[in-house]
Amino acid sequence: MLAWLNRYLPLLIALSVVLMLAQFLRQVWPSSGTVQQWQAAVGAFLHRYGWFFLAFGVMFSALAAAAWAHARDRAPDWVYRFIPMDILDRLTQKKAIEEAAADMDQKAVMLDADGLAAALRAKVVGQDPVCNDLAPQLRRRLALTQRSRPVGVFLFAGPPGTGKTYLAKVLAKELGRKLLHFDMAQFAAGSHSATQLFGMTKGYVGSDSYGKLTGGLRDHPEAVVLLDEIEKAHPEVMKGFLTAWNDGFVTEASDGKQIATTRAIFVLTSNAATDALSQLQKDLGSDADALRQASVNALREHAFAPEALNRIDRIFVFKSLDGMDVARVCALEMEAMIEGYGMQVAAGGIDADIIIQLMQRYRRLGTAASSRDIVRSLEESIADSLIGARQAGYDTIELRMEDGKVKARAFKQPVA
């Protein structure tokens, strides 16, 4: 409306003045009489209101000239100090931009589900069924042009160290979305936890800045929101998430603004009911619907909030790693550890005996096993060697088993 008024302001002013003048003349002009009487009336009128006509003529001429110049993109900048004008009206074709913006807002995202599933499988070891199910779920939800809830609220459940958090990170990267990662164990103590995520009520210390979640979604509305170990969240925190998942917005406490969640993807991870879910995965892994229903019941029995379960779109149960999958994950973790020290692993540079030893430890730990924990224990034994090699300017590492201990050998790769 404002843009329309700006565009036609000169015409509106001129039309208003003309209508007022016509009404005035209708009241003072003699309805009958001689020519002399008419001339006397006109003379009296001009004598009394001539200055008005002069001012009106100058103003109308100026406005008409400004409108003419604006229509041909020739108006000087000072004109817009007196006539407020949307910068898009002034500098470009606003209508075309409005149409394009509306089209972008309504345009569905057509996701290549097969390509996404393949990319996820290539990076997340041992969870092919989850990757194959997640990709089409996202494709269907992203294809919707109108949503009153988030794109998806997904729960990744299963034993620790099976790739739940890692899959969420890979998903964000593959979709080209910002990852907002929250460890819910840090938001388990009292109502203060809710203020960290959703902001502080106005008038209290800290109310001049947004919460971590509301601020993140304000700046990145299409983010992947990763809520690690959601079962540890304080009940007040869960209330905020229930609104975000059910109503399509979350309220920032500092200013009361509603931050939309309809373009975000929420990924929840949980280690609750690990044994029960692992058994269900083995028994019902081929029947996704039956596995979901049984998983909901198992999580409810382990004190998982029913109101949260009712708002989750899909539960993906991760299976425990076994066999060669354990070996692959251990190798990936070791490579990531070494890259963290600014070096790389040589081709064939990890002794097979090291991987075998890690696999044996993983099996002994059972459901408590985590490949990350196992590799961290290995890191403790070679960290000093890695630091020394980096300081000496080496860039490539080999790991060998010697006398029952892991030894790191560093060298420089020749420049091609």
Strands 224-228 and 314-317: what pairing?
unpaired
Kindly tell me the burial class for residue 350, based on how many C-beta atoms sit within 10 Å of its own C-beta (0-12, 13-18, 19 or more).
buried
pLDDT bucket at 101, cuts 50 / 70 / 90: low
The pLDDT of 236-245, averaged and rounded, is 90
Of the listed ranges 73-87, 119-133, 196-210, the least confidently predicted one is 73-87
Do 256 and 140 share a structural domain?
Answer: yes
**Residue with more model confidence, 146 or 76:** 146
- List the end-to-end C-alpha distance of the chain, in Å, as a whole number: 64
Q: What is the CATH number of the domain that holds 214?
A: 3.40.50.300
DSSP string, 268-293: EEE-TTHHHHHHHHHHHTT-HHHHHH
Give percent of the chain with pLDDT exceeding 90.
21
Confidence of residue 128 (pLDDT cuts 50, 70, 90): very high
**% of the chain beyond a pLDDT of 70:** 72
- Lay out the sheet containing 224-228: strands in order across: 179-183, 224-228, 265-270, 152-157, 314-317
Q: Which of 104, 126, 150 is the last residue of a domain?
A: 104
pLDDT tens across 162-192, in order?
889 999 999 999 999 999 999 998 988 876 7
Q: Are 259 and 252 in contact (CB under 8 A)?
A: yes
Of residues 111, 150, 116, the one with CA closest to residue 133: 116
pLDDT of 1: 43
pLDDT band with cut points at 50, 70 and 90 for residue 82: low
Q: Is residue 56 part of a domain?
A: yes
Shared domain check, 137 and 240:
yes
Residue 168: predicted pLDDT: 95
Whether the per-residue pLDDT at 104 is higher than 90: the answer is no
**Residues 294, 216 share a domain:** yes
Residue 94 binned pLDDT confidence (cut-offs 50, 70, 90): low
pLDDT band, very low/low/confident/very high, at 2 (cuts 50, 70, 90) = very low
Q: With 80 as the cut, is the pLDDT of residue 339 above it? A: yes
- Whether the pLDDT of residue 318 is over 60: the answer is yes
Q: What is the CA radius of gyration of the chain?
A: 35
State yes or no: pLDDT of 95 exceeds 90: no
Using the Cα atoms of residue 303, residue 308, residue 311 and residue 317 in order, give the sign of their dihedral.
Answer: negative
**294, 375: one domain:** no
- The rounded mean pLDDT for the chain is 80
- 152 φ, ψ (degrees, to nearest 5): -165, 150
Q: Which domain CATH number covers 340?
A: 1.10.8
CA 198 remoteness from chain centre: 16
300-304 — which CB contacts under 8 Å span 24+ positions?
A: 301/273, 301/276, 302/272, 302/273, 302/276, 303/231, 303/272, 304/231, 304/270, 304/272, 304/273
Residues 304 and 401 in one domain: no
By C-alpha distance, which of 226, 222, 210 is closest to 258? 210
The pLDDT-based confidence of 213 (bands split at 50, 70, 90) is very high
d(CA 362, CA 373): 10
- What single letter denotes the amino acid at residue 145? T
The answer on 295 and 269 residing in a single domain is yes
SS3 state of residue 342 = coil
Q: How confident is the model at residue 291 (pLDDT cuts 50, 70, 90)?
A: confident
Please give the residue that has the higher pLDDT: either 130 or 28. 130
Q: How far apart are CA 193 and CA 75, in angstroms?
A: 55
Is there a domain that residue 87 lies in?
yes
Number of domains comprising the chain: 3
Q: How many residues does the chain have?
A: 416
Mean pLDDT, residues 278-302 taken together: 80
Which of 65, 85, 104 terminates a domain? The answer is 104
Whole-number pLDDT of residue 227: 95
Q: Are residues 148 and 248 in the same domain?
A: yes
Same domain, 294 and 182: yes
Asked whether residue 389 carries a pLDDT value surpassing 80, the answer given is yes
Instruction: Mark which of 73, 104, 135 sits at the end of a domain.
Output: 104
Joined tokens for residue 15: 């039309």
Euclidean distance between CA atoms 1 and 219, whole angstroms: 28
* pLDDT surpasses 70 at 117: yes
Domain-embedded: residue 416: no
Range of the domain at 204: 113-317
Interval 117-126 mean pLDDT: 91
Q: Which contiguous run of DSSP H or E holds residue 228?
A: strand 224-228
**The pLDDT of residue 44:** 67
Which pLDDT score, from 0 to 100, does residue 254 have?
Answer: 84
Question: In b/e form, how buried is each residue of 283-294, taking b as 16+ CB within 10 angstroms?
Answer: ebeeeeeebbeb
Residue 43 shares a structural domain with residue 134? no
| Inter-residue contact 131 to 174 (CB < 8 Å) | no
Average pLDDT over residues 17-33: 61
Could you tell me if 31 and 70 lie in one domain?
A: yes
